[in-house]
Amino acid sequence: MRGAKQRLLALACTATAGALLLTGCLQNPNQGGGGAAGGGGDILADNNETDGDGIVTILGAFGGQEQEGFEASLAEFEEESGITIQYTPDADFTNIIRQRVGAGQAPDIALFPQPGGLLEQAEAGAVQPIDTYLDYNAIEDTLVPGFLESARLNGRVYGAPMRMAVKSLVWYYQDAYAAAGYDTAPADLDALADVAAQIRESGTTPWCMGWNSDAATGWVGTDWIEEYMLRLHGPDVYDDWTSHKIPFDDPKVIAAFEAFGELVMTEGNVYGGTQAVLATPFSESILPAFEDPPACYIERQGNFITGFMPADVQENLDEEVGLFAFPPAASGDYTGQPILGGGDLAALMNGNDEDAIAVMEFIASDQFGGPWAEAGGWLSPHQTFDISLYPDEITRQTAEIVASADVFRFDGSDLMPGAVGAGTFWTGMVEWLSGEKTTEQVTAEIEQSWVEVEDNS
């Protein structure tokens, strides 16, 4: 991509800049412009690192085996380019990046685990827009559709995905579920409800579920509401909801709560009932599916859940475990297949450094990540990534599910202000599931907390 670092956005977005923002198209702000580094974009972000010295500093949140996979995936690039990459992990990334930017010590590149922190720094002028140095059309063509939306601010994109997590997956124990003849690929939510009814009629609970996560209890519930918001109303309404263009107590949000309520509050539909769901650690919720006979059959959870399955199951995942995408709605406003997930977003904080740009071009491409993929525990956000590099069939199936989806959206609570997404939304879900408060009460209180955040900002 060097020498072609900036491309005009697809001509499909041909309206005026104002219309672009209204329709959600991603605006190229440099049309017709020439200029600075990046072949047509202004240098909007610059740190105090030395430019052109062959050293690129990166700050991220992950360490341990993940760091090893990341650095192994950079080794060949470093050798061929002559660039030395210095990666520093910090578990307190969210606070550290604020401190370093505030102190004038921003890294060349930051890997944001959540888009909120990225957009905060973009709004402060500390992040270089990707359209000024990446081949925008090329990266958009290879990424899972919709992934770039999570890094958009005022019509411009500030981060490029370099790792993906997938949440919209339904898991089952093959020996029990498939052997019983239940549908392993329900076409829509109605078909999935039919499967649950069949399991109930057999005398067993269909759904495994656990929300307990100590101080973070409730996040599993927020994922469920996000899944239903996407399926019932589609990505545009979802975006309006997560950006507060519609209120949290909008009728569409109420409908998502009610739809999930039919699943979780139907007698015999969830293992142990709602009180057991609140008490069961999310890491243990899948375990009853592997009992003989199973106490429950299916769980909707992210791709990370395999790490909490019994050791003997993990040793032979491809033979023991099956999965399918949490399906779309059967009818209504939106019937496409959405996928909910997350990921790490790479952001350039030194728009003057050609070496940092070269590193961004690589880690934002579908050529990055081979050694990390082979080691396990990493998914590329690119549909065009070579899935043969993944170590098992389960991971390849997960990648294929995402690649065939109609749209990807980032975890909604991560897009909301922290006081809402990791605050009143979490606690509100617990109050709702426990029966302490109604849907209307919970959504109204979350809405009020969001208004207060905006009033105080």
Can you give the pLDDT at residue 49? 86
Check whether residue 452 and residue 346 sit in a common domain.
no
Check whether residue 207 and residue 329 sit in a common domain.
yes
For residue range 387-424, list pLDDT tens digits in order. Answer: 999 999 999 999 999 999 999 999 999 999 999 999 99
- Examine residue 115 and say whether the peptide bond preceding it is cis (omega within 30 degrees of 0): no
Check whether residue 181 and residue 279 sit in a common domain.
yes
In a domain, 208, yes or no: yes
E strands, 28-182, are 55-60, 84-89, 109-112, 152-153, 156-157, 160-166, 169-173
Check whether residue 221 and residue 80 sit in a common domain.
no
In a domain, 26, yes or no: no
Structural domain tally of the chain? 2
Check whether residue 376 and residue 397 sit in a common domain.
yes
- Residue 224 Cα to chain centre, angstroms: 14
Check whether residue 357 and residue 227 sit in a common domain.
no
Can you give the pLDDT at residue 1? 34
Check whether residue 328 and residue 348 sit in a common domain.
no
Range of the structural domain that residue 315 is part of: 169-338+412-456
Whole-angstrom distance, CA of residue 77 vs CA of residue 59: 18
Which CATH number do you get for residue 142? 3.40.190.10
Check whether residue 289 and residue 161 sit in a common domain.
no
Check whether residue 50 and residue 148 sit in a common domain.
yes
- End-to-end Cα spacing for the chain: 40
Which residues of the chain register pLDDT less than 50? 1-40
Check whether residue 253 and residue 331 sit in a common domain.
yes
* CB-based contacts of 133, cutoff 8 Å, min separation 6: 5, 6, 37, 38, 39, 41, 348, 351, 357, 360, 361
For residue range 275-298, list pLDDT tens digits in order. Answer: 999 999 999 999 999 999 999 999
Check whether residue 362 and residue 440 sit in a common domain.
no
Rounded (10°) CA dihedral 8, 14, 20, 26: -30
pTM for this entry: 0.87
Check whether residue 346 and residue 333 sit in a common domain.
no
* Distances in whole angstroms, Cα of residue 299 to Cα of each of 53, 382, 386, 411: 50, 26, 28, 18
